[in-house]
């Protein structure tokens, strides 16, 4: 879809499209009122500005719209049907990982979620399962107040990639 086509969508269809990029209700609402946008750079700038203006609770809401990296594919497909194709593509390297790496990712995800209260968020595009595992293990050492900012930054990257995918469709 082109930016011109995105700009012409009715508000409900626009909100649904934006929801596939970021699961924060507040972010979607903030973005919808900024349309139409003049160009892709403005769209990306607004997406980042609106994301950074949100409260931690809004960030955490967005995180709930992501499957766990290395999680059960069938359960994830049902829960995240609208973004499952993207999530599978973003996490494609996990599907090629060894059983040992997958088990370590699963255990690390559980430890991460217990410590921080939300799933491990990482922009998985272009990363191998081993790289994601190393990032997960390194980030487990973070303080909660630091980790939420890192996770929010990763969500911002994911949102940008997904906006680009909408415009490329």
pLDDT for 84 equals 44
pLDDT for 114 equals 95
- Euclidean distance between CA atoms 112 and 119, whole angstroms: 7
What are 28-70's pLDDT values in tens digits?
A: 999 999 999 999 999 999 999 999 999 999 999 999 998 877 6
Within 13 Å and on the Cβ side, how many CA atoms surround 66?
29
Active site includes 65? no
pLDDT for 71 equals 59
Tell me the average pLDDT of the chain: 87
pLDDT for 106 equals 85
pLDDT for 156 equals 98
Catalytic one among 60, 65, 66, 139?
66
Burial bucket for residue 19 (CB in 10 Å: 0-12, 13-18, 19+) = middle
pLDDT for 129 equals 85
């Amino acid at each position: 879809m082109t930016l011109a086509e995105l700009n012409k969508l009715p508000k409900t269809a626009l909100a649904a499209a934006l929801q596939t990029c970021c699961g924060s209700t507040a972010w979607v609402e903030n973005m919808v009122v900024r349309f139409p946008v003049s160009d892709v750079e403005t769209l990306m700038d607004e997406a980042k500005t609106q994301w950074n203006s949100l409260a931690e609770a809004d960030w955490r809401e967005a995180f709930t719209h992501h499957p766990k990296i290395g999680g059960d594919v069938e359960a994830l497909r049902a829960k995240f049907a609208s973004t499952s194709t993207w999530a599978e593509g973003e996490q494609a390297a996990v599907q090629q990982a060894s059983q040992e790496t997958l088990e370590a990712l699963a255990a690390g995800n559980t430890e991460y979620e217990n410590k921080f209260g939300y799933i491990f968020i990482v922009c998985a595009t272009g990363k191998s399962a081993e790289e994601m595992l190393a990032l997960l293990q390194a980030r487990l050492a973070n303080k909660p107040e630091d980790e939420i900012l890192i996770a929010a930054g990763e969500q911002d990257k994911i949102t940008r990639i997904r906006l680009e995918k909408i415009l490329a469709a």
